[in-house]
């Protein structure tokens, strides 16, 4: 199957990113010529090259050869030389979400949205449907642990997509099943206000296909408010959670690095063993279950698939153990996510929890510094790195120290370490056998895990 809306040649600026690389992978599987560029080589770039993509390292006008459709994300600035060249030549330029929406045409689409839990819920639904023999196409904002890939061109008629609300682009999709895990203010640098952020979710409701369904978490006030809007518009709603009427969480018990879950679907009580920790993951599993049922999958096969799900990279990902200390990595970059992940760490680890947190974006740090501090207070020792600015320029007075100052722990248990290279040795010095060390954030903090393990290996037993 081709992607006629995008044409026979597609060029992706920033092709190594999670979302862009997934689009590239699907395009290549459909026989489309793919080129692109990225700031640096990476494992993802090397994989795409092996699949047939022509990728340049560095952005330059000469990278645009021929007459491709050019795909960009919000992270690509208007001053990018390739984007400037594309506009000067009158080439078709489309947003990443529009490109992905074009790839979903002709499929029954399940779109998973929400402030938190999108990647995990999308991944759970994908694995569950695979266990049902449906071979869905999918595009996820993270790589499945079992395959190492976050996108796939399947043979089935279902396309599962992680729908990103950060810039409002998730309104490009037309889902048959829309899942909303929660609605809580975030990305105010783009939306401008909490009201505008919530309004874009109502716009997303308007994109649900005729005869489609909203699957919503009944325990989240924002999602429940959205569900009420959906019902007023005549959209069927299926609710999950402890308050959910369609899939009710009856009992959650931590068990090692996973959990035992008892739930009720209709009049039937269900038992489920999950291989990922945290009650928030149990909630995500129920959302995935209801979405799968709406797509016509059998309940027993869905439960087997959910039980087989073993995680996504950067979502409480185990990195290793050294000198009796376990090291994990997580993508959490919002206060609610930080708190949920630290609670999950408590379920897994009997000893102390030590967290190294890297704030993401100056605007988010400025807005949520107090909330980040409160969430980090759930750990025993806290190391705060400086802000990972990503697409933003620095703001005077906004740094990781704002978060560290807000942590409600004794001063000797909170450490602001602005020099990135000092963090691994500092964490190794804090940790002792039986502890769990967790690196956390949406930036380059993720690469610290291996360095921490090396420092732990060097430390005296």
As annotated, the active-site residues are 118-119, 162
Residue 360, Cβ density class (10 Å: 0-12 exposed, 13-18 middle, ≥19 buried): buried
Contact 103, 23 (CB under 8 A): yes
The edge-to-edge listing of strands for the beta sheet with 237-241 is 151-152, 137-139, 158-162, 108-113, 177-180, 213-217, 237-241, 247-255, 258-265, 268-274
CB atoms within 10 A of CB 77: 10
Contact 63, 89 (CB under 8 A): no
Q: Sign of the C-alpha dihedral, residues 98, 103, 107, 111?
A: negative
Contact 346, 257 (CB under 8 A): no
Planar angle of CA 441, 172, 29, nearest 5 degrees: 80
Question: How close are the terminal C-alpha atoms of the chain, in Å?
Answer: 58
Instruction: From 133, 161, 181, 159, select the one nearest 300 (Cα to Cα).
Output: 133
Instruction: Write down the residue that tokens 């009997």 correspond to.
Output: 350
């Amino acid at each position: 199957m081709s992607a006629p809306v995008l044409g026979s040649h597609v060029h992706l600026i920033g092709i190594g990113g999670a979302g862009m690389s997934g689009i590239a992978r699907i395009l290549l599987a459909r026989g489309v010529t793919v080129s692109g560029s990225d700031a640096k080589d990476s494992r993802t770039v090397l994989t795409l090259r092996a699949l047939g993509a022509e990728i340049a390292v560095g952005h330059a006008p000469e990278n645009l050869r021929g007459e491709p459709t050019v795909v960009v994300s919000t992270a690509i600035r208007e001053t990018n030389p390739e984007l400037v060249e594309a506009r000067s030549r009158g080439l078709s330029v489309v947003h990443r979400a529009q490109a992905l929406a074009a790839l979903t045409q002709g499929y029954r689409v399940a779109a998973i949205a929400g402030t938190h839990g999108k990647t995990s819920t999308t991944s759970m639904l994908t694995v569950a449907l695979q266990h049902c023999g449906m071979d869905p196409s999918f595009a996820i904002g993270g790589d499945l642990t079992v395959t190492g890939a976050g996108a796939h061109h399947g043979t089935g008629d279902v396309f599962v997509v992680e729908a990103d609300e950060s810039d409002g682009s998730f309104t490009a999709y037309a889902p048959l099943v829309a899942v909303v895990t929660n609605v809580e203010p975030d990305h105010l640098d783009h939306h401008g206000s909490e009201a505008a952020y919530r309004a874009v979710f109502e716009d997303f409701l308007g994109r649900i296909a005729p005869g489609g369904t909203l699957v919503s978490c009944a325990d989240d006030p924002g999602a429940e408010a959205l569900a009420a809007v959906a019902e007023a518009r005549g959209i069927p709603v299926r609710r999950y959670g402890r308050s959910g009427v369609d899939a009710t969480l009856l009992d959650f018990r931590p068990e090692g690095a996973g959990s035992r879950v008892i739930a009720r679907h209709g009049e039937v009580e269900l038992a489920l063993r999950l291989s990922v920790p945290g009650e928030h993951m149990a909630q995500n599993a129920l959302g995935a279950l209801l979405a799968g049922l709406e797509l016509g999958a059998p309940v027993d096969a869905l439960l087997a698939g959910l039980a087989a799900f073993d995680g996504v990279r950067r979502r409480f990902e185990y990195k290793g153990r050294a000198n009796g200390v376990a090291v994990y990595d997580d993508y959490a970059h919002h206060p609610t996510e930080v708190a949920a992940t630290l609670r999950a760490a408590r379920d897994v680890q009997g000893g102390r929890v030590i967290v190294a947190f890297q704030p993401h974006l100056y605007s988010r740090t400025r807005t949520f510094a107090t909330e980040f501090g409160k969430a980090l207070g759930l750990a025993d020792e806290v190391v705060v790195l400086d802000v990972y600015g990503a697409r933003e320029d620095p703001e005077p007075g906004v740094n990781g120290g704002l978060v560290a100052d807000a942590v409600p722990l004794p001063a000797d248990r909170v450490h602001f370490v602005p020099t990135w290279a000092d963090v691994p040795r500092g964490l190794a010095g804090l940790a002792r056998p039986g502890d769990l060390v967790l690196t956390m954030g949406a930036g380059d903090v993720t690469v610290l895990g291996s360095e921490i393990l090396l420092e732990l290996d060097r430390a005296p037993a």
